[in-house]
Structure 1
Amino acid sequence: MKNKEIISKLPYSKPFLFVDEIIKIDENGVEGTFTFDEKLDFYKGHFENHPVTPGVILTETMAQIGLVCLGIFLLDNNFNKNTSIALTSTNIEFMKPVFPNEKVTVFSEKVYFRFGKLKCKVSMKNEFGVVVCSGEIAGMIV
């Protein structure tokens, strides 16, 4: 399955699509990017005059790239309109802020995929290669 095809199968659309590109993907993990446009609504009022990307959005970005894109790849032809990947747990540590117009890269490594559950170690780096957040995310295929 090609990277653009995986992105087209994501159950999200703008402004809630947080995947610009899949750089690489295989059965063990995925690497992808997203740039946080300064015009995104959640920046309005989130730290007035000094906007910062909310942690829940950083978590969602890691989940979309690191869990859902990988799940679609792993399911390959078994992923269809009736298939979803539901988030079941997160454990994320935040180290640095992400500001408007920053491009981030998400790295995900599969911990396991069995009995319909996918668990991954994820990290997000800024353009300088500095880890801004990392942890684990898991989801169920439904």
Structure 2
Amino acid sequence: MKESYDWILKQLPYSEPFLFVEEILNISDKGIEGSYRFSPDLDIYKGHFKNKPVTPGVILTECCAQIGLVCLGIYLLGKKSELENVAIGMSSSQMDFLIPVYPGEQVRVISELVYFRFQKLKCEVKMYNENDKLVCKGVLAGMIGVANE
């Protein structure tokens, strides 16, 4: 039986239309793998680009960050305990975009932990399309912790 990672998804500080995580496929202390399908109905496709829509690189980066940094960070912080007030902030991103992602495509993000210390999380991320072609890759870093109220 496949393990459920719904507890992580419930902790995400995002909702539609800015949620770019559908499923966590695998996760460990060393990394994460997750997926998302870009619905053709997303508003971003109405103007990027006229009559030939593609997913903007900033949205691909956000998808990689939500899966590769935030979901992994919640796992590392929580280890299945309930977290409240998860605070996140991306501090750096270096991404290379190789091929476009079109409306309706499903992508898979694989993130490998570089380090997690003093609430700073750094990962190497790769995104693949449904044909297992590398879409983009890079290094993302951010701060993640539990905020005090």
TM-score, normalization by structure 2? 0.91
Q: Which residue is equivalent to 2:32? A: 30
Aligned CA RMSD, in angstroms, stands at 1.4
> How many Å separate the matches in 2 of 1:27 and 1:79?
18
Question: Are the aligned partners of 1:62 and 1:106 in contact in 2 as well (CA < 8 Å)?
Answer: yes
Candidates 138, 141, 144, aligned match of 1:141? 144
1:79 CA drift (Å)? 6.5
> How many Å separate the matches in 1 of 2:67 and 2:91?
16
Aligned residues: 142
- The alignment partner of 1:84 has SS state of strand
2:109 is aligned with 1:106: yes
- What runs of 5+ residues in structure 1 fail to find an aligned partner? none
2:84 is aligned with 1:81: yes
- The alignment partner of 1:80 has SS state of coil
Deviation digits for residues 45-87 of structure 1, max 9, x if unmatched? 1111100000000000000000000000000167633221210
Q: Which residue is equivalent to 2:20? A: 18
- What runs of 5+ residues in structure 2 fail to find an aligned partner? none
Candidates 6, 9, 21, aligned match of 1:7? 9
Q: Which residue is equivalent to 1:70? A: 72
Cα distance change on mapping 1:72 and 1:14 into 2, 3 Å: same
Aligned residues: percent identity?
56
Q: Which residue is equivalent to 1:116? A: 119
- The alignment partner of 1:138 has SS state of strand
One-letter code aligned to 1:120: C
> How many Å separate the matches in 1 of 2:98 and 2:141?
21
Question: Are the aligned partners of 1:71 and 1:85 in contact in 2 as well (CA < 8 Å)?
Answer: no
- The alignment partner of 1:7 has SS state of helix
Runs of 4+ in 1 over 4 A off after TM superposition: none
Question: Are the aligned partners of 1:72 and 1:79 in contact in 2 as well (CA < 8 Å)?
Answer: no
